Amino acid sequence: MTLTVDGALRAYAQMMNTLDSTALEPLLADDFVWASQWVFHTLQSKQAYIDYIHPKLIAVKKSGRPVFAEMGVLPAPHDGPCVVLAQGGPESLLGVVLAQVQDGRITRMDLCNMPSAEEAVRSGDYPGR
């Protein structure tokens, strides 16, 4: 079965909802790129992302403020699937995550404020919850 953008985003959402990166890690390309509109530094490899996300998931767990990662779709002009992120409660929106897939691997993910989470059509589907 070929990995789709929707499948990649579903794996990311599951990671954030369960605070376990096991399902996402094997899907990442070795030259995976992670970018966030809130951070100047872009991560440029699968290992750099793994080194970043493990402590982040532990910090979220310790914070007592759960993440809610919901499958969504952005309307035109973006026209595509996304993950709508919230923390503390499903209505405390943070942003959206977009993904790119090539040759059966996730090559890039972006955490965005623009387009905004408010623009997304939300599904009520929280993988892993």
pLDDT band at residue 92 using 50, 70 and 90 as cut-offs = very high
Averaged over 68-74, what is the pLDDT? 98
- Whether the per-residue pLDDT at 111 is higher than 90: the answer is yes
Averaged over 92-96, what is the pLDDT? 97
- Whether the per-residue pLDDT at 1 is higher than 90: the answer is no
CATH fold of 5-120 reads Nuclear Transport Factor 2; Chain: A, (3.10.450)
Mean pLDDT for the chain overall: 96
What is the Cα 9 distance to its own chain's centre?
6
- Whether the per-residue pLDDT at 20 is higher than 90: the answer is yes
**pLDDT value at residue 129:** 93
Domains of the chain, by residue range, sit at: 5-120
pTM to 2 decimal places: 0.96
pLDDT band at residue 128 using 50, 70 and 90 as cut-offs = very high
Name residues whose C-beta falls within 8 Å of residue 22's C-beta, 6 or more positions apart in sequence.
Answer: none
SS3 letters for 17-59? HHCCCCCCHHHEEEEEEEEECCCCCCECCHHHHHHHHHHHHHH
pLDDT band at residue 78 using 50, 70 and 90 as cut-offs = confident
* CA-CA-CA-CA torsion sign (8, 86, 126, 17): positive
The pLDDT > 70 percentage for the chain reads: 99
